[in-house]
Structures are given as structure tokens and as C-alpha cells.
Amino acid sequence: MARILAISSRVVRGHVGLDAAVPALQHLGHEVWALPTVLLASRPGLGRLHELPAIELSGMLSALEADGCWPMLDAVFTGYFPSAKAVASTAQAIAGIKAAKPDVPVFVDPILGDAGRLYIAAETAAAIRDLLLPLATIASPNLFELHWLSGGAARSLDDIAAAARGLGPTTVVVTSATETNISVGTLVVTATTRIERVALKHAGIPNGAGDVFAGLLLGHLLQGRSTEPALDASLADLDRVLAASAGKSVLELSAL
């Protein structure tokens, strides 16, 4: 079992952000300290996005640090951020965690946008690129996010791999790297290797699949699996969730 500090969004209704990644990590037997960056009534596309007043993220992180929590951690996971300020506070905390425990894995899911557009402010996206990615050991952008972060428009798998290697983290997992009417491809890139997997595309899937996948991949890696077996196990777990979720309003995480 690993102990993970997970920092991302929370929703009351639906399964995105922490409400998707945390169950995936817990399913694999890990302890998760879930710290929300924002709390919404419903996930985007499901209902009203009523948001509680801004969470004082820096104060929460400072309290954990003052309690001597940083050496206890086995990994850090980050996802959605509502502001550049929240990114900066998290980056500062991660730097402190790495100082206390230099080998701690840092998994950054750079949630910026999809389908050709950002859905966070450009300054927040830039902060994720400039402050968080340099601290990451593994990152999981989708293809649009890879394009935005790298400043290019990679088309071939060779171009995608080159752009991924330029991001900085030791391992970059590009989700939806390839896509057809019936399939979707995932590409894992390191300095010396490239692994591609193609899976059946499921129609009518609610939001949150990327969050589940990120949690599963980190969880399998923390169980001691190497990259390729961890990828295969994560995609198999995700496929069960997606098959059960097709046409539903929220992800069926019970399929885990």
C-alpha cells in the first residue's frame, strides 16, 4: 500500500477529478489524502456548476507540512486547478515534499482542455506547464493538451513521441493519441522507449474517464509493476468501467 496526496477537483454529483481518481487508487489498495482545489455541485455537462467559495489551498498545504506529513508520502498526484495561484501553491508544496523525500513520484495529469480548446484560463494552463511539469516524474496529457504544452501540432506517432519527450517528465502518457470511429490509442513515451496500445472505443461515455485512468495507472505503478504491465492492467480496468458506463449519466465505478 502507498500513501498518496491527491490534489484536484471534487464534485458532489458525478465522477470526475478526485471523485474518479481516488476510487481507482483505493480500489488498488492505496491510502489517499484527497485535497480539493475546488468543490462543485455537479460535474460539467451533468448539472449546475455551483461552486463553493475558493478553497484556501495554500493554508491546507501549509498545515500538512507543519504536521510533518511530507516524509510520510509515497506519491503525489495532481489534476484540475481553477487558478494559477492554486497551481503555484501546489508547486511550492511539491518542491517541499521532494526536498523531504527526493525519490517521491509526482504524477501530473495536466487538465487543460480537449476538442481543440482550453477549458481553463490560459494563465492557469501556463502555470501548470511552467511550474508543475518540471516537478513531474510522469504526466498524462491528452493529444490536445500535448499540443498546447509543447507549442506544436504533432500528427504522426513519431511527432507525438518527440513532443512528449520535450515536456520534461521521465514518462509521458498521451491519451487519445490516435482515434478512429471504432478505436482509441494510448502512447507511453520515455527517453528510450515507446509503447502503443489501441482499445475499442465505447460510445456515450460520461466525463471522467481520463481521471479514472490516471488513478489506475498511478495505482498499478505504485504496486510495483513496471510501465508496460501497469499500462495494460490500467487499460483493462478502465475498459470494464467504460463498458458498464456507456449511455449512463455518470461513470459506473462499481465495475472496478
Average pLDDT over residues 137-141: 98
Q: Which domain holds residue 61?
A: 3-144+204-255
Q: Cell numbers for 10, please give them.
A: 471534487
* 71 belongs to a structural domain: yes
pLDDT of residue 210 exceeding 80: yes
Answer whether residue 132 is part of any domain. yes
Give 75-128 pLDDT, tens digit per residue: 999 999 999 999 999 999 999 999 999 999 999 999 999 988 999 999 999 999
Identify whether 163 is part of a domain: no
Identify the pLDDT of residue 46: 54
In this structure, the chain runs to a length of: 256
Residue 152 lies in a domain: no
- 150 contact partners, CB below 8 Å, separation of at least 6: 163, 164, 166, 167
Q: Nearest-CA neighbor of 140 among 177, 115, 104, 103?
A: 177
In the predicted structure, residue 16 carries a pLDDT above the cut 60: yes
Average pLDDT, the chain: 93
Q: Is the pLDDT assigned to residue 2 strictly greater than 70?
A: yes
The answer as to whether 125 is a domain residue is yes
| Whether residue 1 has pLDDT greater than 80 | yes
Residue of 112, 73, 90, 99 lying closest to 35 (CA atoms):
90
The answer as to whether 81 is a domain residue is yes
CA distances 226 to 26, 140, 176, 190, 229, Å, are: 19, 16, 22, 13, 6
Percent of the chain with pLDDT over 70: 95
Give the largest CA-CA distance in the chain: 51
Q: What percent of the chain has pLDDT over 90?
A: 86
With respect to residue 181, please indicate whether it lies within any of the assigned structural domains: no
**What pLDDT band is residue 149 in, cutting at 50, 70 and 90?**
very high
Burial class (CB in 10 A: 0-12, 13-18, 19+), 197: middle
Instruction: Show the cell assigned to 49.
Output: 456548476
Beta strands, E only, the chain: 3-13, 31-42, 75-78, 106-108, 113-114, 117-118, 138-139, 171-179, 183-189, 194-200
The CATH number linked to 220 is 3.40.1190.20
Report whether pLDDT(152) > 90.
no
pLDDT tens digit string along 38-72? Answer: 988 765 655 555 454 567 899 999 999 999 999 99
How many domains are there within the chain?
1
74 found inside a domain = yes
Angle at 94 between CA 187 and CA 212, to 5 degrees: 40
The reported pLDDT for the residue numbered 48 is 52
8 Å CB contact between 18 and 37: no
**How much is the average pLDDT of 191-200?**
96
